[in-house]
Structure 1
């Protein structure tokens, strides 16, 4: 089977730890496909075919070619699909239902599909400076963008509920348009003419930035953590 590699945790971001702790170069040794964010929670990252794209909070999309750029949180894997998607259209609300035969509740999985989107709604985290706020504070005031009749790719992960904290339980999805001009963290969508794949993992590798003193000193408030992560992610699909 295959492994999902995650650097950092969403709980760290909730705990005001947004400093970059892994380089793009090091991250790409663990996968060619994934999602994440840059130092200071600077935008939304989507990685496809080993290429790293950043959606900025002003709506622009950048190709990251400097592999010394650092990231506080990212999930990656090597794209080796276990099955093809078997639906012709899907929405944010019906994605889990469409994949019900895959029995995803207790496994990690990656979905990657291309489609024609009749509508898509994304948000993009703006860059933060020290002293960092919590992820929930950032999520309450971040730019949102909408597009209609646009073609592109959604890539992201499903995680079991018991792993909420290390990552986001349920779906965590990012979008990149074919023309590389529209991207972000997916909040809502409707798509048709779908072609894509699903990959189920038998291993979840959690990597922590143990050499970073700020991470080692972090005091995390556990009360309300799960609700805060759900709110910051825009709700579960």
Structure 2
């Protein structure tokens, strides 16, 4: 059985619950590859080979070695690839089409590949302080960065449409350059010399921060939830 473990929900972030509720140490018990954000939406986190990296909104990248660092939302799994990717070049627009034969539309899956990127367009959420705004409010004013000719690793998850709310439906991707100097949430990309893998999951483990009073008492505008997630996540589905 292959499991994708998720702490918190994207709906929580839409509901202004940005306080950290799991440590990096606890999270790493459930995998060695993943993504998330830190308390107050402080940047974009990517986890590769058990190492945690944070992209800050000023463009800098930190190697997180303090495993007491808290995250409000994260997804993680143990890297056990299902198949090698059947292409050597791809961009965000064609990613789903190139994987159509894998029939991902109704399952959770993860992609991880190294490539040479002629274009990499990312955004990085800036740190917020209490009283916290919603993810949608933050998304209307967040730094974006774009570079050309960069090599690195892209990883992320595909979630079925019916899970839009707990997480983001479609592709949710993060990037880390080889020199660990450029990272963030991927809005668009174009890649060649792609080498990597696809992993599919037969179990989705949703973990809730039940000891957190803010989470237990929050209320959500469900009518606007999906539209808000789409607006805040950006990128292409």
Query: What interval of TM-score do these two structures reach, taking the shorter chain for normalisation?
Result: over 0.9
1:46 aligns with 2:78: no
- The aligned residue for residue 162 of structure 1 is 162
The TM-score, its normalising length taken from structure 2, stands at 0.99
- The aligned residue for residue 74 of structure 1 is 74
1:126 counterpart SS class: coil
1:171 aligns with 2:171: yes
Distance in 2 of aligned mates of 1:134 and 1:19? 12
- The aligned residue for residue 103 of structure 2 is 103
Distance in 1 of aligned mates of 2:235 and 2:223? 18
Shift of 1:44: 0.1
Mapping for residues 184-203 of structure 1, pairs under 5 Å: 184-203=184-203
Distance in 2 of aligned mates of 1:197 and 1:20? 31
Distance in 1 of aligned mates of 2:236 and 2:23? 29
2:174 counterpart SS class: strand
- The aligned residue for residue 17 of structure 2 is 17
Shift of 1:221: 1.2
Distance in 2 of aligned mates of 1:208 and 1:145? 32
Aligned residues of 2:6 and 2:75 also touching (Cα < 8 A): yes
Structure 2 unpaired stretches of 5+: none
Please list every run of at least 4 consecutive aligned residues from structure 1 whose deviation after the TM superposition is greater than 6 angstroms: none
Distance in 2 of aligned mates of 1:191 and 1:58? 25
* 1:76-135 deviation line (CA, Å, top 9, x unaligned): 000000000010100011000010000000000000000000000000000000111110
Aligned residues of 2:92 and 2:236 also touching (Cα < 8 A): no
Aligned residues of 2:41 and 2:128 also touching (Cα < 8 A): yes
- The aligned residue for residue 91 of structure 2 is 91
